[in-house]
Amino acid sequence: MMDRQMQDIWTDLHQELKKFIFSKVKDIETSNDILQDVFLKIQLNIHTLSDYSKLTSWVYQITRNIVADYYRKYDPAIQMDSFDFAEQENEEPLYLSLSNCINQKISNLPEKYKQAILLTYFDNYSQIKLAEALDISYSGAKTRVQRGREKLKDLIVDCKNVVTDNNGNLIAYQNNQK
């Protein structure tokens, strides 16, 4: 169970966290090291998380703390205020709510569409690489991604806090948190 949980967290968050960390440290090797530390800390402490709906927020807090620790240890001259973590924290609930909503919707997709979406959008597989990985034809991979996107869009559009135009296209997201 715990291994599957960590795999799900990795699938959902590692690319976002990698970009976030890199935006703070501007060095790919350091970013990768910090990301590894983040996932180690998650794995060691996931049992302490009592409300799984706050997972993403909890993970970002761990990430911010590890980035701050890195600068305290290796470059204490840098002012932590320069990272504007406060601004990130103020913006985060809207982003996290949408991310959690999308992650939840992806989880509800049939397995073959979920796999196609995760591999193409989060692991940056081309549709050709997807076809090879799944041992299906290129046109089959292309169709699977397209149908997966359509099914995901249908699931997201059904959310009460998503606004669509007359054609059913997603145009806005309303934050219902107060």
Domain assignment of residue 115, given as a range: 109-178
The pLDDT confidence band at residue 113, using thresholds 50, 70 and 90, is very high
Residue 82's pLDDT is what? Answer: 46
**Are both 85 and 144 inside the same structural domain?**
no
**Are both 178 and 117 inside the same structural domain?**
yes
Assess whether pLDDT exceeds 90 at residue 144.
yes
**Are both 64 and 145 inside the same structural domain?**
no
**Are both 103 and 115 inside the same structural domain?**
no
Mean pLDDT of the chain: 77
Assess whether pLDDT exceeds 50 at residue 84.
no
Is-above-0.85 flag for pTM? no
Number of domains forming the structure of the chain: 2
- Name the residue among 48, 50, 59, 51 with its Cα closest to residue 8: 59
Residue 32's pLDDT is what? Answer: 92
Strand partners, 153: none
Domain end, chosen from 52, 87, 107, is at 107
Assess whether pLDDT exceeds 90 at residue 168.
no
Give phi and psi for 159, each to the nearest 5: -65, 140
**Are both 30 and 68 inside the same structural domain?**
yes
CA torsion, ordered 66, 69, 73, 75, to nearest 10 deg:
90
The pair of three-digit structure tokens given for residue 12, joined into one six-digit string: 């959902």
12-16, 66-70, 134-138: which is most confident: 134-138
